[in-house]
């Protein structure tokens, strides 16, 4: 199988190349960015393009859509740092033929990747069920959402954290136990679904549209504006000291 590797870390690309070659595959190209991956895929026409979300979730999904539309003979398999149902669904909708996480053993990774040669999607155990469940729920998500009820569970967690004053990518990633790239993906979708343009606006929206009796996601929370969330004169959100 002829494979293109795309990851922003040289060490990861080296490790993947060594593993793939040991399994008898040919690594035809390596890319450090999504744009480079698209250019190299056009030039080398690989059977599989292994695209890492570590580059950038948004850029990787954009590259996936481009390859699915313009180079359908190349099957895109997403390589993720972690499980995330929202990104899994978005990747498949973008045209990905598989979604694998870096937590897999080399043996399992090889076996799942081999499935693409038989025309089967490369999905970990349980991912297919999650995908079907999320897609079944997703019929209403295709309509322009107008309230926070359109947010997924993870997106609501992100918004709750921002209301609590946890607004930087690093703090959100540490609080939720996900990568900063994944945080950016979810924040983008929160703003997109709420038709807003900044995190400050999202916090203001959440505080003014919170249903009576609801809280900010903490046990025993109230409708009061959390003291940890303050909006500065410059329009930024900061944590009170």
pLDDT band for position 222 (cuts 50, 70, 90): very low
Q: Can you give the pLDDT at residue 165? A: 83
Average pLDDT, the chain: 81
What's the 3-state SS for the chain?
A: CEEEEECCCHHHHHHHHHHHHHCCCEEEEEECCHHHHHHHHHHHCCCEEEEECCCCHHHHHHHHHHHHHHCCCCEEEEEECCCCHHHHHHHHHCCCCEEEECCCCHHHHHHHHHHHHHCCCEECCCHHHHHHHHHHHHHHHHCCCCCHHHCCHHHHHHHHHHHCCCCCHHHHHHHHCCCHHHHHHHHHHHHHHCCCCCHHHHHHHHHHCCCCCCCCCCCCCCCCCCCCEEECCCCCEEECC
Q: Can you give the pLDDT at residue 211? A: 56
Reply yes or no on whether the pLDDT at 227 is more than 70: no
Please tell me the pTM assigned to this model. Answer: 0.64
> In this prediction, what percent of the chain has a pLDDT beyond 90?
43
Q: Can you give the pLDDT at residue 228? A: 38
Q: Can you give the pLDDT at residue 65? A: 93
pLDDT band for position 134 (cuts 50, 70, 90): low
Q: How far apart are CA 61 and CA 64, in angstroms?
A: 5
Reply yes or no on whether the pLDDT at 31 is more than 60: yes
Residue 217 vs residue 189, higher pLDDT? 189
Nearest to 186, CA basis, from 160, 218, 209: 160
133-146 burial, b for 16+ CB within 10 Å, e for fewer? ebeeeeeebeeebe
Reply yes or no on whether the pLDDT at 151 is more than 90: no
The torsion angle over the Cα atoms of residues 103, 106, 111 and 116, rounded to 10 degrees, is 70
Domains along the chain?
Answer: 2-136 (3.40.50.2300), 144-231 (1.10.10.10)
pLDDT tens digits for range 111-122: 999 988 888 889
Q: Can you give the pLDDT at residue 115? A: 87
């Amino acid at each position: 199988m002829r494979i293109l590797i795309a990851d922003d870390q040289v060490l990861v690309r080296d490790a993947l190349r060594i593993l793939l070659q040991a399994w008898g595959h040919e690594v035809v190209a390596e890319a450090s960015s999504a744009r480079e991956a698209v250019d190299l895929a056009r030039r080398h026409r690989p059977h599989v393009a292994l695209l890492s979300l570590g580059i950038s979730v948004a850029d990787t999904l954009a590259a996936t859509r481009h390859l699915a539309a313009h180079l359908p003979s190349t099957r895109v398999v997403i390589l993720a740092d972690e499980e995330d149902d929202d990104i899994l669904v978005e990747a498949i909708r973008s045209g990905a033929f598989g979604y694998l996480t870096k937590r897999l053993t080399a043996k399992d990774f090889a076996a799942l990747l081999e499935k693409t040669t038989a025309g089967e999607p490369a999905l970990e155990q349980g991912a297919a069920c999650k995908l079907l469940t999320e897609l079944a729920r997703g019929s209403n998500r295709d309509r322009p959402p107008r309230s926070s009820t359109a947010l997924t569970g993870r997106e609501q967690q992100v918004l709750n954290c921002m209301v609590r004053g946890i607004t930087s990518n690093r703090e959100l990633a540490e609080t939720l136990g996900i990568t900063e790239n994944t945080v950016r993906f979810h924040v983008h979708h929160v703003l997109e679904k709420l038709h807003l343009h900044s995190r400050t606006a999202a916090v203001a929206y959440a505080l003014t549209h919170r249903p009576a009796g609801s809280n900010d996601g903490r046990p025993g929370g109230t409708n009061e504006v959390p003291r940890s969330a303050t909006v500065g004169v410059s329009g930024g959100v900061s944590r009170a000291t």
